[in-house]
Each structure stands twice: as structure tokens, then as C-alpha cells.
Structure 1
Amino acid sequence: MRLLLHFARTYPARSLLTLLALLLAGLLDGLGLSSLLTMLVSMSGDADGAGLPLPARQVRQFLAGLGISPQLGPLLALMVLAMAGKAALRLAANAQVGYTVARVATDIRLGLLRAVLGSRWEYYLRTPIGRLSNAISGESNRAAGAYFDAAQMMAVLVQGLVYAVLALLVSWQATLAALLLGGLLMSGMGGLVRRARQAGTRQSQLTARLVTYLTDVLQSVKPLKAMGREDLADGILARQTRQIDKALRKQVIAKETLPAVQEPLLAALAAGGLYLAMAHLGLSLASVMVVIFLLARLLGYFTKVQREYQRMVSAEGGFWMLHDAIVDAQAAAEPPTGSAVPSLTRSVELRDVRFAYGEQPVLDGINLVIPAGHFTTLIGPSGAGKTTLVDVVIGLLQPQSGQVLIDGRPLPELDRQTWRRMIGYVPQDTLLLHDSVLVNVTLGDPALGRDDAERALRQAGAWDFVATLEQGLDTPVGERGGKLSGGQRQRIAIARALVHQPALLILDEPTSALDAAAEVAVRDTLRDLKGRYTLLAITHRPALLDVSDHVFHIVKGTLHRASEPVS
């Protein structure tokens, strides 16, 4: 019931409206049923109603108080009106459930997405992308399905309670006996429900693992195929798929075993209730007829409640996995920052900055001044701390000691989001969307138009080749930009970084994957940008060193000037 309580607290208004509609529908169902019983018994010859069970007598008295004769016509009309009212209320309840199911899926997706986007950079380093993709795309639907199953269970439970009240009014002894035996039956079937819950949770875990691995494989499919090693990935994926199939089989077996076992046991319970009513309780024929009908319906609702509960617990594994992922991401949220508006007219400065991943030091007392309007380059071997230094400047990582100053103001005092929007970033791995050149440059920002994209492409030295493409700015670039050359992809990435006219342009190994001609072209582009932007580059290639104003060498987390300013 933990899931039901969680949904009730999260969506109190909709849950209350749904419950109220279900209760009213149940009452109307009871009224219609009592009318039907009154009509059947009256038709059997009991004109004065002495042999009617209590619910039917109360309906008869209610009609008499309204001046309505308990004859076939009025009883049929009351029954039809009650059934119509029940149908309308059930429709209203189901509409609320449908709206909430869609809301649950949306809220979970957005909640996870916002929590992830607001988390520290360290969270991204330790969390597989495939796990997040699976959670947002697949598990969110299962989580919403858990709410639907919970609502269906509540609907069946309310109907069952109405029938239980009517049955108690007819014969509390037979009803209590049936309820007790039904409760024991549900308890005995609890093992199947637990197996379904375990199988559902296992299925969620295995699916997340499969999608995570599949994402990694698809990102690396080219080298795998080039080396003829795709069979290795196929073997692992096949093994994980078989594990999911095994968990699904367990879930199906538990699900189908439950009704198969319930039906004969419930038939035995119904027969026992009938025997008790006729042989030992001395009920009238009319009451016996009512008891048989009510107990059969009541015990049927027992089975439906347990089946819906089993469906809910089978799906709730996905919900709690998503819930835990959101909590995990929220726990890794970036710390709050100040509200001062940053500017970059003088410099970015690092003072005695130290940073470590756990016990492993990466930056050891870095002191660096990056003058505004100049081109500063960092060189050094892999693992020396170049990228970590850049991440500290951006504010993705917070140093354990020391300060980052923007025009003399500590970075934590500044509005972090405003500072980052002043940065253009070109990563080492050029990641392009499977979309048009325009979307890849503007990232769909509605504030940026075609003129902005063209300006940025011209600054990046990319407009000449974009203008010759078949559809120009609207030309699709293919998966990860596969329809373009390496140099073309890199120039579009530079245009993307320039389109919002940043104050600081950061380039992480911008020429490492390019041939000599493309490297020279990118170098010339960056030289043209010098003076218009503050540039900070990471490289180990000599081409950029020739056009840099300041070059620094990082060795084992310490910084050394590698050259004097270029004249």
C-alpha cells in the first residue's frame, strides 16, 4: 500500500475526486441491485414484502415514502436510473484516472530530467547514460501503469465493499464466514503476489542494464564492426535478453497461476456459504437467493482485487526505481550560488586551486590568469589535469581549496547560470544531433534565427561549405554528423559555441581528430577570432601554439609557463 499512499499524497485532489466518484458509483450500484432484488422477489409472489431481505425492504420503504408503488415499472425505472448514474460516475472516475496516469508519466519524466540536469558534474561521471535513457523512455510508462493498476484495484475494492455491506444486511453470519475464508484465501495466495513483485523488480533492473549496455554498444558500433568484434556485443546482449525473458516468464507464471487457483477455491467457498445459509441459518427462499447472488459477486471481487494488486506490485518496481533515481540525482544537486551578474572585461583568474577525485589529486595549487580578449592555451600529457582545470573555470567542478575569480569576483558569488551562458564550449568529441545544420547550430533556441546561424557559421569558417549543401541550413547531418567530414563537424561545433556570442570560448582538443589541412583551417579560424573573444584551449598539437598569446604546460597537476606571449 506504500505506492497508493505515495500517489494519494502526490495527487490529493485527483485521488479524492476519483475516490468520491467511485463511492457514489458503488452506492448507486447497491441501489440498483436492491431494486432488482425487490423486483425479483415481488415477481415470485411475495406481494407484501414480508419475505424480502433487509436491503430490498428498505428500498421498498424508500419508494413508498416517495409515493411510488414497488411495481415492475417503477422498479425497472429506478434500476435503470441507478445503473446510468453508476456508469456516469465510473466514467468520471476513469477520466480522472486517465488524466492522472498521463500526469504521472509526465511528472516522472520531467522530475528525473530536471533532477539530472541540476546535478553536479560528478553525478554524470558515475551514472550510465543508458540507465537514464531507459528510465525516461521506458520505466516512466511502467510507473504510470502502476498508478492505473492501483486505481483499478481501488475501484474493484469499493464495489466489493458495497456488496459486502448488502450481504451483511441479508445474513451477517454467512457473509462473515465468506469474508473470513476469502481473507485466508488471499493470504494463502500472497506468495504468488510476492513472486510477481520480485519478478517485476528484477525485470526493471535487467532492462536498465540491457539498455545501458546497448547504448554503449551503439555509440561504439563503428570500431566494433571495423574489427569484426560485433559478435562479442551480440553475445552479451543475447545473454542479458535471456535473463529478462526468464524474469518475464516468472512474472507471467505467477500472474496466470493466481486466477487458476482462485476459481475452484472460490467455487468451494460459494458452495459452503450456500449450504450454511440453507441448512443452518434458516433463511427464507428470497434471502437465500440474495445470499447466493451477493456472495458469488463478493467473492468474485475478492479475486479481482488480488489480481489488480498483483498487477500493481508487478509494475511498481519500475516506479520505485525511477523514484530512487530522482532522489539520487537530487542528492547530487549543484550547490546554490550568488546572484551577482558576472562580467568578463579583465580576466579569469585561478588562485591556489586544488582539486582531487577522492584521494587522487588532480590540480595542486594552480595559479593562472587568463586575460580577457587573449588566446590562452594549456598543453600537457593525458591525465595531467587540463580538462579538470577547464571544468573548474566553467563551474562544473568545485575546488576543494582556492578560488576562481571572474573580473576579481569569486565564482560562487556570481549567478552560475548567467556565467555559463557567457561561455561557448567546443568539446573534444564533436557530438552533432541527427538533425539539420540549423538545429545543430542553434540547438532549437527560439531566440536564435537563421541570420544568427549564418553569422556563427561565417565566424567558424563553415559557411562556404554549408551554402553548397543541397538544402543549405536545412540539410540533415546524419547520425552524430556522419554525413560530414571531421573538419566540417568541428566547424559546426565551433559555430554552435559562437552563435550566442559568448564572452569566453573554450576549446577542448579542437584539432586532435583532424588531418593536417583541416587543422590548419581551424587554426586560421581561431586566429581570426582572437581579439573578439577570450579564448581558452586545450591541445597537444603545435598548430594552436603558433597563434596563442599565452601557453601554459600542466604536469602532474602543476602549472608552468611554456612560452612567452606571442608578439
Structure 2
Amino acid sequence: MEIFRKYVQELFSLCPGKISINLILMVLLGTVEGIGILMLVPLLHFSGIVPAAELTSASNPGGFLKGIGSGLSLPTVLLIYVGIIVVHSGLHRFQTNLNVQIQQYFHSYLSLRLFQRIAYAQWSCLAAGKKSDVTHMITSELARVTGGTQYFLQLTASAVISLIQVGVAFYLSPFLTLVVIAGGLVFFTLMQTYVRRAKEMGIALSRHNRNLFFTLTEYLNGMKEVKSCAMEELHIARFKSIRNSIAQNFIRFSQVLSSTRMLYKIGAAIMVSIFFYSGVSIFLVQPRELILLIVIFARLWPRITSFQGGLQQVMMMLPAFHNLLDFEEKCLREKEPEGDGSWGMPGDLKTVRDYGIKIKIKQGIQLRNVSYSYHSHGTVDAVRDVSFFIPAGGITVLVGVSGSGKSTVADLITGLIMPREGEVLIDGVPLEKLNLRLWRKSIGYVPQEPFLFHGSILDNLLWANPNATREEIWSALRMASVDNFVASLPQGLYTEVGDRGTGLSGGERQRIVLARALLRNPTLLILDEATGSLDPENERRILNTLESLAGKSLTVLFITHRLSSIKNAHQIIVLDRGKVAQVEGTSMSGQESSPRKAAY
């Protein structure tokens, strides 16, 4: 029950005021409903079912029933009864709306908190997992928690109102009330096996939904390969199998709920029979009290049934809430180090919102004895004992075959991953001591596989710099040698690029992503095979642009597998099997430097 306690604690800590009001409304609803039942007394009198003399009998303590409606005419009693129903309906409407507010606030709070923890988790943690798991958590599991919250609020209301009605019944006939309560507790205890089964089905549902999201995401990610190989039927079969498992799980859960309702109805019939026999033959309950008790318990027993059903729904939801907490805890454990911010953060700036603020590279970037492995045991290093220096304001080319560690070096410099051994320094300051977000906002990055968001070309450019002017946008497009292409499009900057930029060719995507990186006005530009999809003419234009920009507060790291890609580099570093094989180049003063000197 620890997870249930955490759930209730989370819910109440979020909006204690609204939940307190909700509890007050539950008490008022129960009280009003109890008064409505007691108003049956004068109605029984006016109908002649219960003579007035019986209202003053010895079995009526203190003449309690006599005082109800005494001296009132039938129209007045009916008007009071209608008024009670109006008040009850109004309170119930207000409570229903309040429940929805609590439910949606809870959903928004959990979803935002989860997304923030995902956003600030280390890239290596998220990249190693399944993207479908993230989607599954923030959609399916969170939706189940929200639905379970509705059931929790409903069963809480049922419990409070039932307690008030039990109090009224206990005043009228303590013994009969205890008999009914005992019977209800017996049935509730016997039904706990169904509660446990509901929780097991909730665990199974989480597993099936996770597999369903994974199957769908994998198909969408590999849709081109699937269609190219005509493998649609394989993926359809997988999807069908998982969906059938989900359907069977819901059918079994429905069977559990229907069995519970059936047993409670049978139990209700048994309890009514015992109740009626005991009231008439054993306890000699007066007709007026017997009628009121029958009305009370006729309304109370369905609430007990509803409480049992709501409890099963909540138990089925709890595994989803448990999964959310586990996933959040994982993201918190893998939260990105923020650095102490003692270097690179101007003034009293606490958050990085000003896109004009950059970390200027005055000396250069140094990797000192850096090793990194993508495997936790660290037996196979992507880079091993790597040391070199990237001078500020120059063009450094990082060359190597596929798998030599070039992209790993780029991720180390951006701080997406941290070295297992050694350190990365910016102007002599260890990267972990920088404000990482400010450092990354100072970087323009063009990855090996260029990514565009689903939207227009303009949307993608403004994502990098929301404050950019039209002149700055077109200047970045010109530097990326894509201005003529964009201008030739019927909708120009407003052209939709499609999901992940699939509406454009590889070369067009690559150049727009480069323009987006340049629009950030970075102090460090990292190009990871950024010209691989370009024709020779556009590649030459872009390289000429980079050569003209280098030295003007811009440092360029050009990653390629072709040594001939750029000829006027200040430095060339060759990687081979994760190690530095060779360093050649000239210093910023233009003098030749030996490989050893260039490396440090």
C-alpha cells in the first residue's frame, strides 16, 4: 500500500484547498441527502401509512420523528422536499466540476513535471532507452492515472456520504445497522481477491501498452525500410497480437467488475431478507422506522458496490502511477550536471533566456587524456586517451573513418556526454564547471543526420533564434547556400518541410540546418559530416563562407571522413580507432607547428 499512500500524498499536496472544499461538499451532500430521507416521515404521515400517534411512541427517542414536519401542510412539506433536491443537485453539480478541476490540475502537474525531468535528463540516458517508453509514459500511463483519479474522488465521496447515512440509520436502529455493516464488511473482505486481480491486470496493461507503443514507433521510424522490403505483414501481425492481448486484458477486467456487481446484488438480496426478518420478528421495529431503514440501506448498498468497483479501478491504475514515479526517479538520477556556473555566466543571470548571451572562446578548447565508453563496463572505448587543442578563431578539421570516434568527440565538447577519464577544458576551465546550457547556446551544431521540425522553413529557423530579423534570416540562408532554393519555392519561407524534413532532399535539409546553426551567431560551429549530401558547387560555396567567418569570433570544428573536404584548415587532427593518430597544422600566427606542439 506504499504506492497508494504516495499517490494520495501527491494528490493532496498539489491542491489542498480544492480537496478540502471537496471534502466539505461531500459532508454537505451526505447531510442534505440524509435530511431528504427523513422528510419521508411527514409524507408517510400525510399518506396515512404511519399514524401520527406512532411518532410519539416510546421507541421514538425524544420524539425525534414527531418533530419532523409537525405543523406543516402537505404542500409545504413537498416544497421543502423539492428544495432539498434542488440544493442537493446544485451541490452535486459544483462538486462534479470541482472534481474535474482537481483531476486536470493533477494531470497537468504530473505531465509537466515528467516532461521537465525528461528534458533535463542526460542525453546518454535517453538515447540508450526506447523513445516509445517516453511516449508511453507521458500519454498512456499518465492518462490511466488521470482516469484513476476520477474513480478515487468518486469512491471518497461515496465513503463520506455512506458514513453520514450510516449515522442516521444507527440513530434509528443501532442493532439493525450493525447487522448490515457487519454483512457489508464480510462481503468487502471476500471481494479483496478481485481487488488483487485488478492490480495484476493493471500491471499487465502497462506491459501491453508499452509493447504497443514500441511496435508502432519502430514501424514509423523504419517505415521506408519496411515498405522497401515489403515487410508490412510482419509488423501488422505484431501489432495485432499485442492489441488482442490488450483486448483480452480489458475483457477479463470487465468480467471481474461484473462478477463483483453480481455478487453484491446477491448479497444485497440476502441482507435485505435477513434485515427485514430481523426487524419484524426479532427487533420488533416500528413500520415508520423500518421503512426509513429500508430506504437508507437501499441507497447505501449500491454505494458499497460502487466503492468496491472504484477501488478495483484505482488498484488497476496504481501500477501506472508506480511506473511514472520509477521513470521520474530514473530521470532524476540521470539529471544533467548543471555546473557551478562560476564561469561563463554573466552578472546575476540565473536562467538562460537571452539568445544574445554567448560564451566567448578566447584561447581554445582542449581535450586532455579523454576516454569514453558507451558501455557501462568500459571495456571498449569509443575514444581512448585523446588529447588535442582546438585554437580559438580557427578551423580545425577532425578526420577519420566511420567508427573512429569523431562524433563522440563532438558530443564530449558539447557536454552531451562526460568523459570516463580525463577532462574537456574551455579556455582552461573544466567543462563541468561551466553553465552547460549557456555553453550550448554558444554552439551551432549540424549533426550527421540533419533534423527539421514539422513546420515551415521559417519555423525551423526561428526555433534557433526567435529574435532574428528577416535580414538575419536571409543572410544565414545565403551563407548556407540555400537562399536561391528557398526563394524559388512558391511559399518561400512558409514552405512546410514535413515530418523530420522529409519534404526536402537530403542536401536541402542539410543546408537549412546549417543556416539554422549560423542564425544562432555561435562562437563554436560544429559540422559533423555537414557537407556529405551536397554537390561540389554548394560544398565549395559553404566552405568558402566558413573560411571567411573563421577568426571573426567563430571557432569551427569540421568533422569529415574526407581529408580533401577543406583545404585551408588551421589544423588537421586524424583519429584512428578512438585515438589521435596525427595532428598537423599551423598556429594562429601562421607558423608551422609540429604534431606534438599542435596536440597541446
Q: TM-score, normalised by structure 2?
A: 0.88
Alignment match of 1:27 (pick from 25, 31, 34): 31
The alpha-carbon distance between structure 1 residues 219 and 514, as it changes in their structure 2 partners (threshold 3 A), is farther
SS of residue in 2 equivalent to 1:536: strand
Q: Which residue of 2 aligns with 1:398?
A: 418
How far 1:63 moved relative to its partner? 6.9
Code of the aligned partner of 2:19? S
* Contact in 2 for aligned 1:435/1:478 (Cα 8 Å): yes
Code of the aligned partner of 1:20? I
Code of the aligned partner of 1:376? T
Name the CA distance, whole Å, in 1 between partners of 2:121 and 2:420.
18
Q: Give the number of equivalent residue pairs.
A: 563
Name the CA distance, whole Å, in 2 between partners of 1:437 and 1:123.
30
* Contact in 2 for aligned 1:53/1:170 (Cα 8 Å): no
How far 1:272 moved relative to its partner? 1.3
Question: What is the 5 A alignment of 1:98-137?
Answer: 98-137=100-139
Alignment match of 1:369 (pick from 389, 396, 400): 389
SS of residue in 1 equivalent to 2:382: strand
Code of the aligned partner of 2:198? A
* Contact in 1 for aligned 2:424/2:431 (Cα 8 Å): yes
Q: Deviations over 1:35-66 (max 9, x none)?
A: 223432454353252259869954754777xx
Code of the aligned partner of 2:88? K
Code of the aligned partner of 2:44? L
How far 1:449 moved relative to its partner? 4.7
How far 1:234 moved relative to its partner? 2.5
Code of the aligned partner of 2:571? H
> Is residue 498 of structure 2 the alignment partner of residue 506 of structure 1?
no
Q: Deviations over 1:59-106 (max 9, x none)?
A: 754777xxxx34434433433333333223222222221111111221
Q: Which residue of 2 aligns with 1:209?
A: 211
Name the CA distance, whole Å, in 2 between partners of 1:465 and 1:93.
59
SS of residue in 2 equivalent to 1:365: strand
The alpha-carbon distance between structure 1 residues 522 and 205, as it changes in their structure 2 partners (threshold 3 A), is farther
> Is residue 19 of structure 2 the alignment partner of residue 15 of structure 1?
yes
Name the CA distance, whole Å, in 1 between partners of 2:565 and 2:471.
29
* Contact in 2 for aligned 1:39/1:71 (Cα 8 Å): no
Q: Which residue of 2 aligns with 1:144?
A: 146
* Contact in 1 for aligned 2:382/2:408 (Cα 8 Å): yes
Code of the aligned partner of 1:228? A
* Contact in 1 for aligned 2:372/2:382 (Cα 8 Å): yes
How far 1:19 moved relative to its partner? 1.0
How far 1:240 moved relative to its partner? 2.1
SS of residue in 2 equivalent to 1:343: coil
Q: Which residue of 2 aligns with 1:348?
A: 365
The alpha-carbon distance between structure 1 residues 60 and 321, as it changes in their structure 2 partners (threshold 3 A), is farther
Question: What is the 5 A alignment of 1:158-557?
Answer: 158-339=160-341, 340-341=343-344, 342-356=359-373, 357-358=375-376, 359-360=378-379, 361-443=381-463, 446-514=466-534, 519-520=539-540, 522-532=542-552, 533-557=554-578
The alpha-carbon distance between structure 1 residues 93 and 539, as it changes in their structure 2 partners (threshold 3 A), is same
Name the CA distance, whole Å, in 2 between partners of 1:250 and 1:521.
65
Name the CA distance, whole Å, in 1 between partners of 2:488 and 2:61.
84
The alpha-carbon distance between structure 1 residues 444 and 373, as it changes in their structure 2 partners (threshold 3 A), is closer
Any unmatched runs of 5+ in structure 1?
Answer: none
The alpha-carbon distance between structure 1 residues 450 and 36, as it changes in their structure 2 partners (threshold 3 A), is farther
* Contact in 2 for aligned 1:487/1:518 (Cα 8 Å): no
> Is residue 584 of structure 2 the alignment partner of residue 563 of structure 1?
yes
Name the CA distance, whole Å, in 2 between partners of 1:202 and 1:249.
13
Name the CA distance, whole Å, in 2 between partners of 1:504 and 1:52.
94
* Contact in 1 for aligned 2:394/2:551 (Cα 8 Å): yes
How far 1:499 moved relative to its partner? 1.5
> Is residue 57 of structure 2 the alignment partner of residue 36 of structure 1?
no
Question: Identity percentage over the alignment?
Answer: 27
User: Which piece of structure 1 moves more, 162-171 or 401-410?
Assistant: 401-410
SS of residue in 2 equivalent to 1:370: strand
Name the CA distance, whole Å, in 2 between partners of 1:503 and 1:59.
86
User: Which piece of structure 1 moves more, 545-554 or 167-176?
Assistant: 545-554
Any unmatched runs of 5+ in structure 2?
Answer: 345-358, 591-600
The alpha-carbon distance between structure 1 residues 298 and 56, as it changes in their structure 2 partners (threshold 3 A), is farther
The alpha-carbon distance between structure 1 residues 243 and 46, as it changes in their structure 2 partners (threshold 3 A), is same
How far 1:190 moved relative to its partner? 2.1
* Contact in 2 for aligned 1:438/1:450 (Cα 8 Å): no
How far 1:512 moved relative to its partner? 3.5
Q: Which residue of 1 aligns with 2:52?
A: 47
How far 1:121 moved relative to its partner? 2.0
User: Which piece of structure 1 moves more, 152-161 or 535-544?
Assistant: 535-544
Code of the aligned partner of 1:46? P
Q: Which residue of 2 aligns with 1:88?
A: 90
How far 1:172 moved relative to its partner? 1.4
Name the CA distance, whole Å, in 2 between partners of 1:79 and 1:224.
68
